[in-house]
Amino acid sequence: MIHDLFKIPIWVKDLKHDNYEIASYCLEYSKNHPSANRSNINGYQSPDLKDEHEKLNPLFNDILTNATEFARSLECSESLDFTNIWFNINSYKDFHRPHTHPQSVLSGVYYIEATHETGNIEFYPPGYELKHENWNKNFVKNTNKYTAHSFKIESVTGRLYIFPSWLLHSVEPNPLYKQRIALSFNLI
pLDDT at 45: 94
pLDDT at 41: 81
Q: Write the pLDDT tens digit of every residue in 65-117.
A: 999 999 999 999 999 999 999 999 999 999 989 999 999 999 999 999 999 99
Task: pLDDT band for 21, please (50, 70, 90 cuts).
Answer: very high
Strand partners of residue 109:
161, 184
Task: pLDDT band for 134, please (50, 70, 90 cuts).
Answer: confident
Strand partners of residue 169:
99, 123
Task: pLDDT band for 28, please (50, 70, 90 cuts).
Answer: very high
Beta strands in the chain (DSSP E): 11-14, 40-41, 44-45, 82-90, 95-99, 106-113, 121-123, 151-153, 159-164, 169-171, 180-187
- The mean of the pLDDT values for the chain is 94
Domains of the chain plus CATH, in order, are 11-187 (2.60.120.620)
